[in-house]
Structure 1
Amino acid sequence: MIWLTWRQFRGQALVALVALGALAIYLVILGLQLRGAYDTNVGCTGCSAGTGAQLLKDKYFSALLLTGFLIILIPAVIGAFWGAPLIARELEAGTHRLVWNQSITRTRWLAVKLSFVTLAALAFTGILSLLFTWAASPYDRAINDRFDPLFFPTRNLAPLGYAVFAVVAGITIGLLTKRTVIAMAVTLAVFTAIQILMPTVIRPHLAGAVTENVQFTAGGAHGMWLDQTGRVSVDGYDVPGAWMLTSEAILVDSTGGQPGKAVTEACFNGDFEKDKACLEALNLHSVLTYQPADRYWTFQWLEFGIYLLLALLLAGYAFWRIPRGLS
């Protein structure tokens, strides 16, 4: 049964190996370039860490963002092109009956196929995640924003959870639809929907967020904006390494309310330093809500566990259904 599964899967496996080799070469080159840039701009004697970090961000942010998007996309592709056709193709063509009429039970048939392809997906995604985490580590060390929703799902354990879930979801959907193309489309849709829900609805609530009052000081603000209602938004009050849940820092007074429009407008005269000093004299503060940096690995394990649990539930359903729902 294992040999049969390999023969059916070897074409996809060879394509994956070629893609893995190409991506591995690119990630090694990217990692070496980042290390050279880090040593030149951040880690050198007398270098300004802040200026060097900004240079790294300006040069490599787009490359890391696009590569990270690819790392997230790969589990979706694996689920659609490896998982979904695995069962649906045989049910659609009727070739499953040849196996079931021999000594292979339905449960064993499903177990071998599911285990084989899931392990292959884990190995493929794990290698890429490891290489990308290594490549991006100088950037992460300098910028300290790996908890950011754009970067969090691209590193360490999270992509492995996505891969396992995508494959098992594809297999289960294929078992239900019995149509290869439909199963592929539904798998992509389901995976995309969950990837949107996770950072927007689920992940922020995996642990209670920290709420903190931060006193406004002239030295801490990098930028300020005044809207038509007199509300002042401030840039520069992010907590290092944290996942900021507050979209923008709004200045409020000691009662927690917004200062009067006339009061704040009087502080905006076109001179940035004087404007900041004027606002500082008003004794204002902002309320920040965030997940601290030291929870990064806790969230990685939690998210990995959630996707693994979903995969186990789907696999359990598939094993329950296959002896009952198919003839």
Structure 2
Amino acid sequence: MSLTIMTAVAVIAAHDRSGLLDDLNSGLYDRCSPDPLYCTLSGTGVRLLLDSEALKYLGMLNIGLPAIVGMLWGAPLLGRDLEQGTHRTVLTQGVSRGQWLASRLGLAAGTTLVLSGFLAGVFAWWWQPAANQSYGVFWYETAALNGSGPRVVAAALFGLAVGTLLGLLVRRVLPAMTLALLVNGAVILALEAAHRVRFLVPPHTYTSAGSSPKPAMGDKWSAGHYGLITASGRREDVANCPYPSSTQLGECMDSHGYVARFYEANPAGDYWTFQWTDTLVLGVLTIILTTATTLLLRRRV
């Protein structure tokens, strides 16, 4: 199954990336840049966008990979033998519980590592020509932030660890598969929510005077927080001076005692901060779950 998935993804990626490069080389997108956010066709107002739907589908596949691995590989890893009782035969033939777990989990982990690393690598290769461009896919879009980089590998190994532990605890494959789907789904959604509220990676603050244009958003990911700053550093609602960059805005700020305006956002460089933070969290959880599986195996089997 892994080889089939990898082959299909490689063929689709090679075909679509070739078409993407042909579009970029046509010169139609030469005038586009990350700022303004949307690049339009001259004289028509029509947005210029590359066809990146298949790339986003790959990102969503990568996001769902932990649930797939947990269901199809993790849950049956020990659960099938425990459900059918065949583990007794294995353990009476001179194989210790640790060796049984290591042989099963080692092969599954190796396969998971290869598959997830391949899918993450293909996404990066496919994404690179149009990364963080107004006509492509920005780093903070869900498909890119959660479906690429080392976190894909860490998440897949976490999914395997979840499924393996649940298979041991439940001792029935189908219920363990269902629980693995639910647990992995909950963790995926929790990490996505943490990204949205910047729980683990706080945004940067950008300031400017009211009389001059504020720093361009460009490829930054806005946190949705913006307003005005007093001399004491207190932040207040921008509605107190609802004017664009102008003399009028400057006069309003002076009359209210504001010294600057601000907005909060994460720059493109924070992509790697999000990546390694998620990888660390998922890696620690994987170690904890694997350790728990090892300890419980000695008591429950």
Q: Which residue of 1 aligns with 2:186?
A: 193
Contact 1:41 1:52 in 2 (8 A): no
Deviates more, 1:293-302 or 1:80-89: 293-302
Show structure 2 runs of 5+ residues with no match. Answer: 41-46
AA at the equivalent of 1:241: D
Separation (CA, whole Å) in 1 of partners of 2:212 and 2:73: 56
Change beyond 3 A, Cα 1:21–1:161: same
* Of 260, 265, 268, the match for 1:293: 268
Deviation at 1:257, TM superposition (A): 3.4
Q: How far apart are the structure 1 equivalents of 2:283 and 2:15?
A: 32
Q: Counterpart of 1:271? A: none
2:39 corresponds in structure 1 to: 54
Distance 2:25 2:57 in 1: 23
Deviations 1:200-250 (A, max 9, x none): 237823344322334457866xxxxxxxxxxxxxxxx76333333x2264x
Distance in 1 of aligned mates of 2:90 and 2:182: 31
Spell out the pairing of 1:129-140 with structure 2 (5 A cutoff).
129-140=120-131
Q: Can you give the 5+ residue segments of structure 1 that lack an aligned partner in the other structure?
A: 1-14, 221-236, 268-274
Q: Count residues with an aligned counterpart.
A: 282
What is aligned with 2:224?
A: 247
1:179 equivalent to 2:172? Answer yes
Instruction: For residues 43-67 of structure 1, give each alpha carbon's deviation from its aligned partner in whole angstroms, at most 9, with x where no partner exists.
Output: 75xx343689736963335443333
TM-score by length of structure 1 reads: 0.75
Q: Distance in 2 between matches of 1:48 and 1:171?
A: 48
Q: Kindly provide the amino acid, as one letter, of the partner of residue 155 in structure 1.
A: S
Counterpart CA distance in 1 for 2:69 and 2:295 is: 24
SS in 2 for 1:204: coil
Identical-residue share of aligned pairs (%) = 22
Q: Secondary structure at the match of 2:276?
A: helix
Equivalent residues in 2 for 1:125-274, closer than 5 Å: 125-143=116-134, 145-201=138-194, 204-215=198-209, 239-244=217-222, 246-247=223-224, 249=226, 251-252=227-228, 254=230, 256-258=235-237, 264=242
Q: Are 1:149 and 1:243, in contact at CA under 8 Å, matched by a contact in 2?
A: no
Per residue, is there more helix in 1 or in 2?
1
Paired letter, 1:20: M
The match for 1:315 among 290, 294, 300 is: 290
After superposition, give the CA deviation of every residue in 1:58-108 in whole Å (9 maximum; x if it has no partner): 333544333311221123211111111111111111111110011111111
Q: TM-score, normalised by structure 2?
A: 0.80
Contact 1:161–1:304, Cα closer than 8 Å, also in 2: yes
Q: Take 1:93 and 1:238, find their aligned partners in 2: how far apart are those partners?
A: 62
CA distance in 2 between counterparts of 1:219 and 1:292 reads 18
2:206 corresponds to which letter in structure 1? E
Alpha-carbon separation, structure 1, partners of 2:272 and 2:10: 25
